Amino acid sequence: MNPRVISGSLKGRRIKVPKTNIEPSKDIVKESLFNVLGNEIIRKSFVDLFAGSGNVGIEALSRLAGLVTFVESCPAHARIIRENLALFQLEAEIVQMDVMGYLKKYNGMPADYIFMDPPYRDFDHDRLLRTLSESKVLKPESLIILEHHEKQRINFQDSSLVETDLRKYGSSALRFMRLMS
């Protein structure tokens, strides 16, 4: 079944997902994430890396986030994000490119929130965190959220990020991070 928007102006609406092997964030994980963020997200910038269907970024828009940017390399997935945004009459930025390339080339305003849900299997999370920590997408007060398999080991020693919270939901985990001060 397609994921639903948990709260906000689009509460209960179903989100279209690509007919590929992506697994959108589970409702319980998404609900928990936005319970942690609370009303702080209102009018703040939010970047959804490895956006897939746009599930998490659309939830942010439903909860009145400001500028939301979806970064997705797969053309079919980017098309689904566009369709979802049109269906819900939402405006956001969609960047169709590889996340690592996006982080390396980014030269805009730093974001308040960066959410990442990379593939659970065979993915170099440490390289991602190192690249992110060197990216101009971050500012000192940015909050970074990484969704990953709860058994995945994450190494911070090669990045300038520090973990501030870790929450587990079944086989999924949400790791909250900030830049070291």
Number of structural domains the chain divides into:
1
Domain containing residue 56: 27-179
Helix (H) or strand (E) holding 94: strand 93-95
3-state DSSP assignment of residue 42 = strand
Cα(148)–Cα(120) distance, rounded to whole angstroms? 6
3-state DSSP assignment of residue 33 = helix
pLDDT of residue 158: 67
Kindly give the confidence (pLDDT) of every residue in the chain, 181 residues in length, as a single tens digit, with 9 standing for 90 and above: 788 999 999 999 999 988 877 777 888 899 999 999 999 999 999 999 999 999 999 999 999 999 999 999 999 999 999 999 999 999 999 999 999 999 999 999 999 999 999 987 778 888 899 999 999 999 999 999 999 988 888 877 667 899 999 999 998 999 999 998 7
Q: The CATH number of the domain where 168 resides is what? A: 3.40.50.150
- Give the Cβ contact number of residue 27 at 10 Å: 15
**Would you say residue 21 lies in a domain?**
no
pTM: 0.94
DSSP state of 7: S
Cα(84)–Cα(140) distance, rounded to whole angstroms? 32
